[in-house]
């Protein structure tokens, strides 16, 4: 039975909407079928704030791949699209993060599921609430709606349409 994976997409270089669309095509070709997509959201950079704003989107994907295989494919897609990892929180053509993989809890050197910063980032929670407001975080045992309500992140997240 296919697994349900929520993936956060982000870009702040080039044609941002096109980068997200290109990543979605690659995900469909290499990982599995996209079940749902949030709207696009523009957000000021998080972490390293001295860079252009990001366009973000959350998608849900059905896949037969294991969590580590999914991560490997996402990293490959980032590389194929021209991402180079030089320093943390740098500008990037594409950033692909696994948020949730079914309801599993996984903590390995290269992969932590659920993503450890979900509850701290409005740019992640707002699209998740759009798609699955009642989904419960398997570690925190709170819905996406509740996590957004108590999220300490002050950054503005602006809905841009699209999907």
99's tokens: 């948020």
Active site residue 83: yes
Neighbouring residues of 141: CB distance < 8 A, sequence distance ≥ 6:
none
Catalytic residue among 21, 62, 97, 120: 97
- Catalytic annotation on 21? no
**153 annotated active-site:** no
Pair 138, 99: CB distance under 8 Å = no
Query: What is the distance, to the nearest Å, from the Cα of residue 149 to the centroid of all Cα atoms in its chain?
Result: 19
Set 21, 95, 102, 122: catalytic member = 95
The answer to whether the CB of 56 falls within 8 A of the CB of 123 is: yes
Beta strands 54-63 and 32-37 are: antiparallel
Cβ–Cβ < 8 Å for 23, 97: no
**Contact between 162 and 58 (Cβ < 8 Å):** no
95 has catalytic annotation: yes
Residue 7: enclosing H or E segment and its boundaries? strand 3-11
Catalytic residue among 92, 121, 122, 153: 92
Catalytic site positions? 83, 92, 95, 97
């Amino acid at each position: 039975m296919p697994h349900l994976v929520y993936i956060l997409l982000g870009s702040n270089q080039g044609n941002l909407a096109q980068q997200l669309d290109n990543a979605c095509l690659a995900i469909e070709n290499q990982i599995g079928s996209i079940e749902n997509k949030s709207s696009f959201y523009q957000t000021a950079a998080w972490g390293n704030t001295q860079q252009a704003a990001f366009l973000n989107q959350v998608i849900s994907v059905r896949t037969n791949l294991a969590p580590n295989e999914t991560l490997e494919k996402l990293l490959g897609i980032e590389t194929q699209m021209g991402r180079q990892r030089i320093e943390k929180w740098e500008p990037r053509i594409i950033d692909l993060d696994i948020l949730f993989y079914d309801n599993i809890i996984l903590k390995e050197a290269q992969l932590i599921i659920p993503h450890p910063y979900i509850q701290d980032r409005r740019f992640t929670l707002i699209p998740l609430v759009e798609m699955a407001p009642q989904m419960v975080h398997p570690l925190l045992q709170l819905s996406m709606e509740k996590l957004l309500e108590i999220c300490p992140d002050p950054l503005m997240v602006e809905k841009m349409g699209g999907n």
